[in-house]
Chain A
Amino acid sequence: MTETPLFTGADWDFEKIQRVYDAVEQIAKAELGLVTYPNQIEVITAEQMLDAYSSIGMPLMYKHWSFGKHFARDETLYRKGMRGLAYEIVINSSPCISYIMEENSMAMQTLVIAHAAFGHNHFFKNNGLFKQWTDAKGILDYMEFAKGYVAHCEERYGHQAVEKVLDAAHALMSHGVHKYPRKRTPDLREEEKRAAERYAYQEKMFNDLWRTVPKPASTQQGSKELADRKRQLGLPEENILYFLEKMAPKLAPWQRELIRIVRKIAQYFYPQKQTKMMNEGCATFVHYTILTRLHEMGLLTDGAMLEILHSHSSVVFQPDFDDRRYSGLNPYALGFNMMSDIRRMCESPTDEDREWFPHFAGNNDPYGTLRQAWADYRDESFILQYLSPALIRKMKLFKIHDEAEAPDMAVTAIHNERGYREVRKALARSYDVAHLEPDIQIVDVDLAGDRRLIVHHLVESGMLLNEVEAVRVLRHIANLWGYEVRLLEIDPATDRVLKTYDDVAPITAL
Chain B
Amino acid sequence: MNVIDRRLNPKGKSLANRQRFLRRARAQIVKAVRDASGSRSIQDIANGEKISIPMDGLREPSFHRAAKGGIRDYVVPGNKDFVVGDRIKKPDEDGGEGGGSEGSPDGEGQDDFAFVLSRDEFLDIFLDDLELPDLVKKKMKQTESTTPMRAGYSVTGSPANLNIVRTMRNSLSRRIALKRPKPEELAALEAEIKRLEETGEDPERLSLLRVEFDHLASKIRRVPYIDPLDVRYSRFEHVPKPVTQAVMFCLMDVSGSMTEHMKDLSKRFFMLLYLFLSRRYRHVDVVFIRHTHEAEEVDEETFFYSTESGGTVVSTALVEMRKVIDERYPPADWNIYCAQASDGDNTSADNAKTASLLETSILPLCQYFAYVEVGAEYKDWLGRDSDLWRTYKEFARAGGNFAMRRVRVRSQIFPVFRDLFSKERKDNAAWEAGGEAP
Contact = CB atoms under 8 A, between A and B. Distances in A.
Contact of B115 (A75, A414, A462): A75
Contact of A469 (B64, B73, B115): B64
A402 B76 contact: no
Interface residues of B, number: 66
B89 A71 contact: no
Interface stretch (A128-136, A170-178, A199-207): A170-178
B115 A102 contact: no
23 contacts: A25-B1, A41-B3, A50-B14, A55-B14, A55-B17, A64-B20, A66-B21, A67-B14, A71-B14, A71-B18, A95-B2, A396-B80, A400-B99, A407-B90, A413-B84, A414-B84, A426-B73, A457-B63, A462-B71, A465-B64, A466-B107, A469-B64, A472-B61
A398 B82 contact: yes
Interface string A306-329: 000000000000111111101111
Nearest to A424: B75
B6 interface: yes
A258 to B, nearest CB: 15
Tell me which of B13, B66, B75, B114 has the highest count of chain A C-beta atoms within 10 A of its own C-beta: B75
Nearest to B73: A426
A256 interface: no
A44 B6 contact: yes
Chain A binding surface, main DSSP class: mixed
Given A410-B86, A412-B84, A469-B107, A398 B7 contact: no
A278 to B, nearest CB: 17
B203 to A, nearest CB: 70
Interface in A376-397: 395-397
Interface of A: 14, 17-18, 21, 25, 38-45, 47-48, 50-51, 54-55, 63-69, 71-73, 75-76, 79, 95, 99, 102, 117, 159, 163, 167, 170-175, 318-324, 326-329, 395-404, 407-416, 418-419, 423, 426-427, 429-430, 436-438, 440, 457, 459-470, 472-473, 476
B116 A476 contact: no
A400 B74 contact: yes
Contacts of B58: 69
Contact of A466 (B59, B65, B85): B65
Given A44-B6, A463-B70, A473-B62, A73 B113 contact: yes
B11 to A, nearest CB: 7
Tell me which of A398, A411, A470, A472 has the highest count of chain B C-beta atoms within 10 A of its own C-beta: A398
B24 interface: yes
A411 B83 contact: yes
A403 B71 contact: yes
B101 interface: yes
A396 B77 contact: yes
B152 interface: no
A404 B69 contact: yes
B76 A397 contact: yes
Interface string B1-31: 1111111010101101111111110000000
A43 B387 CA distance: 69
A106 B104 CA distance: 39
Tell me which of A320, A460, A469 has the highest count of chain B C-beta atoms within 10 A of its own C-beta: A469
A432 to B, nearest CB: 12
Given A41-B3, A414-B84, A469 B21 contact: no
Contacts of A320: 77-78, 80
B85 A440 contact: no
Contact of B75 (A167, A319, A398, A472): A398
A394 B101 CA distance: 22
Tell me which of A117, A460, A470 has the highest count of chain B C-beta atoms within 10 A of its own C-beta: A470
A320 B76 CA distance: 8
A68 B21 CA distance: 5
Interface in B79-109: 79-80, 82-90, 97-102, 104, 106-107
A66 B86 CA distance: 46
A14 B3 contact: yes
B50 interface: yes
B129 to A, nearest CB: 21
Contacts of B14: 50-51, 54-55, 67-68, 71
